[in-house]
Structure 1
Amino acid sequence: MKPRIVAFIPAHNEEKSIRDCLAGLGDQSLPLDVNLDVIVIADNCSDQTEEMALAAGAEFNLELRVLTTKNNKQRKVGALNAAWKSIYGDPLDLYDKRQTIYQEYYRNSVKAVLGMDADSRLAPGALSQLWEGLMSSRNIGGVMAKYTMRMPKKKSLISKSDPHYEEKIAIGEYGGPISRWWTHQQKQDMASWLLDLQYSGGSTYVLGGQATLFRPETLQDVISENKLDGPWQDDSDVEDMLLTWQIQKKWKTLISPTARCYVDAMKSYHTFRQQRNKWQSGTVDLLTNGNIGVRSKHRGKIWRSQLKTFSNLTIRLLFILLLALSLATDQFNWSWIWLTPVILASILNTILALKTPMHRPIDIIFAALLISPEIYLWVNLITFVNVWLGKLSANKKDGWAIQYSAERGQTKSKLTEGIIVVIVLITLGIYFCIDQRSFLTSEAVQTSVGPYLLSGWILLTYFTIFTSLAMVYQLWKLRGRHKA
């Protein structure tokens, strides 16, 4: 029996995307004398996912079978473990089920396990590149593809008279200017993260579930060491990061410098927020929860990222407060040196936009003007605050359920209400300052406020210098030839 790669594709009501995912696997050029088997796990489906998967498997000449799950309460984790158990058996079985000779041969022939999302698509040649990376050294446990968000096609390309207009829009292949702009921000954010990993030697603290090739012995080690019934666990909202940290105890986890995987972006503010809330909450929980019993060698890098976000939040809030107070009391003095961090940020974001795959001229312009990066940063800052405040709450939220509900349109964003509240507060603040102008600019008020303003501007200066040096260091690293 030839060595083989087995792909696990969990699919919950993915009838609209599963064909494209399988088409990507059908495009792959396999390593010499290596076979590819595909297992689609139709997880608690109420649509035609199973039928679409079987039809696509026949269309693209794939060795494909479908597993169906019922009453699986562990969602993606349970689906992946079901595929694993179909090959390696279930340790929780009460009876010793001896495998047939064929099953033993088949199990031993599996040299790599590909974990994929049903809405992802591998670029041609990506599977061979992942295989080469995994087999380049005995101590490599997993290799992840480089992810790039797929840009929605222009909605204007579809005629309103097209009888399939609503169906095409629902699939998510098309989008308006806002969804296309929002997709690029996620794509540039991903590109920045991928470049940082590559400049740090290619080691990653998370093997993303969208497309990662694992060595089976690695996953078996995780099961044995942690007394599990399958490699994946639902103890965390970021099951792929938890698995990666467990793997890193004995194995290397790397990102492929060449293998590409195209994934869907969150096309609205609301779905993006819920996804990032889940990611950030899971990350913070792994960092702070001692009961999980696992630590990553990249823990310092992740903490530095959290501190960087906190610094960005502090600088902006402190600047807004000091600027408002200075203008209100007529004690604002402009200095041209303040443009230094702005110029550095503009150069940095322009370079990142240029290094982002399939960028558009408008993306470069918005990056240089800092319009897009600043809006995107504020959204992430809101998520950061929300997650850390949630750590103080006694109620544990189900990140998976919240994200699924948002993607299905069962919950609504409060963005409009939030913007209205901010506008009202700013308007009231301006009215108060104008109405009380003579009092706020009086010598007594200026004398009282002056020392606090001076201390605040000094503190902000130190924060800004630190952030500026960090940007200079990042610009220095970006001189390399790595690609996102």
Structure 2
Amino acid sequence: MNSSIDLSGLKRVYVKPRIVAFIPAHNEEHSIRDCLEGLADQELPPNIELDIFVIADNCTDKTEEVAFTAGHELNLRVTVLRTEGNKQRKVGALNTAWKSIYGDVMDLYDQQLTPFQEKYRQGVKAILGMDADSRMAPNALINLWAGLMSARNIGGVMAKYTMRMPLKKSSINRDDPHYEVKMKSGKYGGPIQRWWTHQQKQDMAAWLLNLQYHGGSTYVLGGQATLFRPEALQKIVDENNLDGPWQNDSDVEDMLLTWQLQKLKWKTLISPDSRCFVDAMRSYHTYRQQRNKWRGGTVDLLTNKELEIKTRHFGMLWRSQIKTFIDLFIRVLFFVLMTVAISTDQFTWSWFWIIPIVLASILNIILALKTPMSRPIDVISAGLVVSTEIYLWVNFITFIQVWIDKLSPYKKDGWAQQYQAESGKTKSKLWQGMSLFILFMTALVLGAIHYQDWLTSATVQDATATYLQVGWIILTYLTIFASSVMVYKIWTLRSRHTA
């Protein structure tokens, strides 16, 4: 362990109240300094000190050296902890930092804390959990502190997350000797990467606005930047006989921790004033793998009967699953009905179908305007609906994949799949999928043309007319439901809350 502070060699002394930051970092040499620079910008509450624990987790790069050097240059108290052979990834890294302060209950030798360590532990008033690729905006920490200290029963307060828009790749001269280093830093991207980033920004903004409108309580305290009350975390350890607050039983350890806090009657809130900038997934493949992990972990928690933990948002999460299914079913049903109706020459246009498109356009424009640092092109593309619809279909594919995996007897490692995607060890099957879809549509059109006379015959029309009629009626009612939901969302967005 490399450290700028020594917790073991001091006598019994007075220890100031402090906030400690836990930052798990697996091969984050390109981002850890930026994270620490954000912490160096923070204003601290009066008489409160900040200690930072960077956990260099199974690193094979220079994360440890960069963190230690940055801490010295930025005048931060940085302790670098090293893990080797940690198989629990982020969970194991976070619990390593926890044990460095609160002791290891699994220690065979039952080593007692020194007098200073006891005092130090008592002085820890808040624990900040951060990702190594996140950066807190100025005043974010003091706003999180204000939220945590506003009531005794608040167990954790999360910052509002905003994806960082990559700079234009074209702004770098290809003759720049540092071109490759700059590209690896993740600060630059092309049009596709910037498009993906905005879609995730707008998605995050919609999620935050919805939670704030319904009281500001959250069912997941995201690991990018959340301030916890230590006694709340200790309560989880004691109640569940754990060796650390974070558990490896779920791909969404942050959500599991939040549900456990709520079960123990702690409030989990979003700070209305604290901002944290996080990296977005820049490609279809990495985005899919991240969302597979997130959504798959959520479904696992919702359907785990042995867990015996029910968040106050349990109903809302199930309604979200049902709403996604209905939105997918509406589109599939519309496609089937349109295909059959056009092929059999029974299609009649109705202006009723314009209503959900107009409502979606209005909703998307409002969300784009409320998304932090949105660009004019973002608002225009939101109003045209096409971009949002493409992004929505990617999420439909994820939704289908998650439920197929849930019904499968084989359990997938969401963390491993996401890491392999981000490190380039696995490739996307997007082009293969698109090619198959184009072939399917081509075959469908050619088949309809070839069999046009038979499809438009009275026999086929009579056989399909009843089914079409029932299908259009079902679609109409579902469309009214979906439109009502959009009207409600538009209504909620009139509030003063910001994303």
- What is the deviation of 1:292? 2.2
Aligned to 2:474: 459
Q: In the alignment, which of 429, 437, 455 is matched to residue 422 of structure 1?
A: 437
Equivalent AA in structure 2 for residue 263 of structure 1:
V
Matches within 5 A, 1:57-206: 57-206=71-220
The structural deviation recorded for 1:111 is 0.1
Pair 1:371-2:386 in alignment: yes
Q: Which moved more, 1:74-83 or 1:332-341?
A: 332-341
The answer for the alignment partner of 1:235 in structure 2 is 249
Gaps of 5+ in 1: none
Alpha-carbon distance in 2 for matches of 1:256, 1:307: 28
Deviation at 1:33, TM superposition (A): 0.6
Q: After TM superposition, list the pairs within 5 Å mapping 1:76-475 onto structure 2.
A: 76-249=90-263, 250-475=265-490
Partner of 2:10: none
SS in structure 2 of the partner of residue 292 of structure 1: coil
**What do the CA deviations read for 1:422-441 (whole angstroms, capped 9, x no partner)?**
00110010001011111000
Query: If the length of structure 1 is used for normalisation, what is the TM-score?
Result: 0.99
Q: Distance in 1 between matches of 2:105 and 2:305?
A: 27
Q: Give the Cα separation in 1 of the matches to 2:181 and 2:386.
A: 33
CA displacement 1:228-249 (0-9 Å, x = unmatched):
0000001000000000000002
Q: SS of 2:175's equivalent?
A: coil
Give the counterpart letter for 1:180 in structure 2. Answer: R
Deviation (angstroms), 1:291: 1.9
| Counterpart code for 1:85 | K
User: Residue 306 of structure 2: SS of its match in structure 1?
Assistant: helix
SS in 1 for 2:155: strand
Alpha-carbon distance in structure 1 between the residues aligned to 2:98 and 2:305? 28
Q: Residues of 1 paired with 2:177 and 2:18: CA distance?
A: 44
The answer to whether residue 52 in structure 2 is matched with residue 38 in structure 1 is: yes
3-state SS of the aligned residue for 1:38?
strand
After superposition, the CA RMSD in angstroms is 0.6
- Distance in 2 separating the partners of 1:100 and 1:283: 41
Question: For residues 124-173 of structure 1, what are the alpha-carbon distances to aligned partners after superposition, in whole Å with 9 as ceiling and x for unaligned?
Answer: 00000000000000000000000000000000100011111111111111
Q: How many residues align?
A: 484
Partner Cα distance (2:457, 2:347) in 1: 14
SS of match in other structure, 1:64:
strand
Distance 1:245 1:9 in 2: 22
Q: Residues of 2 paired with 1:184 and 1:283: CA distance?
A: 24
- Alpha-carbon distance in 1 for matches of 2:195, 2:488: 28
CA–CA distance in 2 between the matches of 1:161 and 1:148? 32
2:335, 2:267 → 1: CA distance?
A: 44
> Shift of residue 392 of structure 1?
1.3
Q: Which whole-Å deviations, capped at 9, do the CAs of 1:245-274 have from their partners, x for residues lacking one?
A: 000022000000010000000000000000
- Structure 2: state its 5+ residue gaps: 1-14
One-letter amino acid of the structure 2 residue matched with residue 380 of structure 1: N
Q: Tell me which amino acid in the other structure corresponds to 2:228.
A: F
Distance in 2 separating the partners of 1:57 and 1:166? 26
Aligned-pair identity in percent equals: 67
- Measured in 1, the distance between the counterparts of 2:190 and 2:109 equals 56
Question: After the TM superposition, which of the residue ranges 28-37 and 289-298 deviates more from structure 2?
Answer: 289-298
**TM-score with structure 2 setting the length:** 0.96
The alpha carbon displacement at 1:100 in A equals 1.2
Q: Which residue of 2 aligns with 1:483?
A: 498
Cα shift at 1:95: 2.2
Deviation at 1:96, TM superposition (A): 2.3
What amino acid is the match of 1:413? S
What is the CA distance between 1:108 and its match in structure 2?
0.1
Deviations 1:418-458 (A, max 9, x none): 00100011001000101111100001100000000000000
Query: 4+ residue runs of structure 1 moved beyond 3 angstroms?
Result: none
Secondary structure, in 3 states, of the residue corresponding to 2:176?
Answer: coil
Deviates more, 1:88-97 or 1:441-450: 88-97
CA drift at 1:203:
0.2
Separation of aligned partners in 2, 1:337 and 1:394: 44
CA distance in 2, matches of 1:62, 1:272: 34
Aligned partners of 2:402 and 2:355: how far apart in 1? 32
Matched residue of 1:221: which SS? helix
Whole-Å separation in 1 of the counterparts to 2:242 and 2:308? 14
Q: How far did 1:294 drift? A: 1.5
Deviation, 1:371, is 1.1
Choose 55-64 or 138-147, whichever is displaced more.
55-64
C-alpha deviation, 1:293, in angstroms: 2.6
1:396-423 deviation line (CA, Å, top 9, x unaligned): 0000000000000000000001001000
> Which position in structure 2 is the counterpart of 1:2?
16
Alpha-carbon deviation of 1:82? Answer: 0.3
Counterpart amino acid of residue 13 in structure 1:
N
